[in-house]
A and B are shown apart, each in its own frame.
Chain A
Amino acid sequence: MSNNNSEFSSEFSAVGKRIPKLDAAQKAMGRAEYIQDIKMPGMLYGKILYSKYAHANIVKIDTSKAMALSGVHAVLTGEDVPKKMKMGFYKDNPPIKKGKVCSFRDEVAAVAATSPEIAKKALDLIEIQYEELPGIFDPERAMEKDSPLVHEYHKSNVLNLPWKLHYGDVEKAQKEAAFVVEDRFTTTWVTHCCMGTSGAVALFDASDNLTIYSNTQIPSLAQKDFLEALKAMGLENKRARVIKPIIGGGFGSKLDTYAYEHIAILLAYKCRKPVKVTFDRVEEFKATSTRQPAIINIKQGCDRNGKLLFRDIKMILDNGAYTSWGATTPSVMMMPITSLYRVENVRYDAKCVYTNNTYSQAMRGYGNPQATFAIESSMDMLAEKAGIKPIEFRRINRNHPGDNTPQGFKITTCGLGECIDEVEKELINDTPKEKGVGIGVASLIHVGGGARIYKSDGCGAILKMDDYGKVNIFTGGTDMGQGMDNITAQIVAEELGLFVEDINVVHTDTDVCPWDVGAHASRSTFVAGNAALGAAKKVKKKLLKLGSKILDAPAENLVLRNRLIFVPDDPEKSMPIDKLLRKVHFSPGGTMLMADHFYDPKNENMGKDFKGNMSMTYTFGVHGVKVKVDEETGKVEVLEYIAAHDVGRAINPLLLEGQVYGGVVMGLGYALTEEVVHKNGENMNANFRDYKLFTAKDAVKIKAPILETPDKEGPFGAKGIGEPGCVPTAPAVANAIYDAVGVRIKDLPITPEKVLAALKEKNK
Chain B
Amino acid sequence: MTTNISFLLNGDKISYDIKEHWTLLHLLREKLGLIGTKEGCGNGECGACTVIIDKMAVNSCLYLAIEADGKTIETIEGLASTDGTLHPIQQSFVDNGGIQCGFCSPGMIMSSKALLDENPDASREEIKHALAGNICRCTGYIQIFESVEAAQEKVAANKGGKDE
Chain A residues with CB under 8 Å of chain B are 18, 20-21, 23-25, 27-34, 36-37, 192-197, 246-251, 280-281, 480-483, 654-655, 657-658, 661-666, 687-689, 693-697, 699, 702
Contacts and interface: CB of A to CB of B under 8 A. Distances in A.
A24 B102 contact: yes
A696 B143 CA distance: 11
Interface in B42-83: 42-43, 45-46, 48, 75-77, 79-80
A662 B135 CA distance: 12
A280 B42 contact: yes
A699 B128 CA distance: 8
Given A21-B94, A195-B48, A281-B43, 16 more contacts: A20-B95, A20-B96, A25-B86, A27-B99, A28-B76, A195-B38, A249-B137, A281-B46, A481-B138, A666-B140, A688-B45, A689-B45, A696-B127, A696-B132, A696-B134, A696-B141
25 contacts: A21-B94, A21-B97, A25-B86, A27-B102, A28-B86, A28-B99, A28-B109, A29-B79, A30-B36, A194-B137, A195-B40, A195-B101, A196-B38, A249-B101, A249-B138, A281-B42, A281-B45, A481-B102, A657-B97, A658-B97, A661-B143, A662-B137, A687-B41, A688-B45, A696-B136
B139 A658 contact: yes
B75 A30 contact: yes
Contacts of B139: 658, 661-662, 665
Contacts of B127: 696
A688 B135 CA distance: 9
B97 A655 contact: yes
Contact of A658 (B100, B109, B145): B100
B14 to A, nearest CB: 17
Contacts of B145: 696, 699
B90 interface: yes
Contact of B93 (A24, A33, A247, A281): A24
A699 B95 contact: no
A255 to B, nearest CB: 16
B138 A658 contact: yes
Contacts of B86: 25, 28-29
Contacts of A195: 38, 40, 46, 48, 101, 103-104, 135-138
B149 interface: no
Contacts of B37: 30
A696 B130 CA distance: 9
A246 B102 CA distance: 9
A20 B94 contact: yes
Nearest to A248: B103
B36 A657 contact: no
Contacts of A29: 36, 76-77, 79-80, 86, 90
A665 B128 contact: no
A194 B101 contact: yes
A665 B75 CA distance: 29
Nearest to B87: A28
B1 interface: no
A688 B43 CA distance: 9
Contact of B41 (A657, A688, A699): A688
The 5 closest A-B pairs by CB, nearest first: A30-B36, A481-B101, A27-B102, A665-B140, A248-B103
B45 A687 contact: yes
Contacts of A247: 101
A196 B94 contact: no
A252 to B, nearest CB: 12
Contacts of A28: 76, 86, 90-91, 93-94, 99, 102, 105-106, 109
Nearest to B110: A30
B114 interface: no
Given A21-B94, A29-B76, A30-B76, A196 B103 contact: yes
Contacts of B138: 195, 249, 481, 658, 662
Nearest to A661: B140
A30 B87 CA distance: 12
A25 B79 CA distance: 12
A695 B100 contact: no
B155 interface: no
Contacts of A695: 132-133, 135
A30 B113 CA distance: 15
A197 B39 CA distance: 9
Nearest to A697: B132
A251 B35 CA distance: 24
B141 A665 contact: yes
A247 B95 CA distance: 20
Contacts of A481: 100-102, 138
Nearest to B129: A697
B116 interface: no
Nearest to A250: B101
Contacts of B132: 695-697
A34 B76 contact: no
A694 B134 CA distance: 11
A625 B135 CA distance: 23
Contacts of A193: 135, 137
A249 B75 CA distance: 22
B102 A693 contact: no
B144 interface: yes
Contacts of A196: 38, 40, 101, 103
Nearest to A25: B94
Given A666-B137, A687-B45, A699-B141, A36 B38 contact: yes
Contact of A281 (B40, B104, B144): B40
Contacts of B101: 194-196, 246-250, 480-481
Given A28-B94, A195-B40, A664 B140 contact: yes
Contacts of B131: 696
Given A34-B103, A702-B140, A696 B97 contact: no
Given A29-B77, A193-B137, A697 B142 contact: no
A21 B137 CA distance: 17
Nearest to A693: B135
| Residue of B39, B97, B128, B134 with highest tally of chain A CB at under 10 A | B97
Contacts of A249: 100-101, 103, 137-138
A37 B39 CA distance: 10
Contacts of B45: 281, 687-689
Contacts of A482: 100
B137 to A, nearest CB: 5
Nearest to B34: A30
A331 B37 CA distance: 41
A249 B51 CA distance: 22
B95 to A, nearest CB: 5
Nearest to B133: A695
A30 B90 CA distance: 10
A499 B138 CA distance: 27
Contacts of B41: 281, 687-688
A685 to B, nearest CB: 12
A661 B36 contact: no
Contacts of A251: 137
A193 to B, nearest CB: 5
B140 to A, nearest CB: 3
A195 B91 CA distance: 22
A617 B129 CA distance: 42
B30 to A, nearest CB: 9
B94 A699 contact: no
A695 B136 CA distance: 8
A664 B95 CA distance: 22
B142 A702 contact: yes
B103 A696 contact: no
A28 B132 CA distance: 19
B56 to A, nearest CB: 18
Contact of A24 (B46, B94, B144): B94
A661 B102 CA distance: 16
Contacts of A665: 139-141
B27 to A, nearest CB: 15
A33 B36 contact: no
Given A29-B77, A248-B101, A251-B137, A696 B94 contact: no
A729 to B, nearest CB: 11
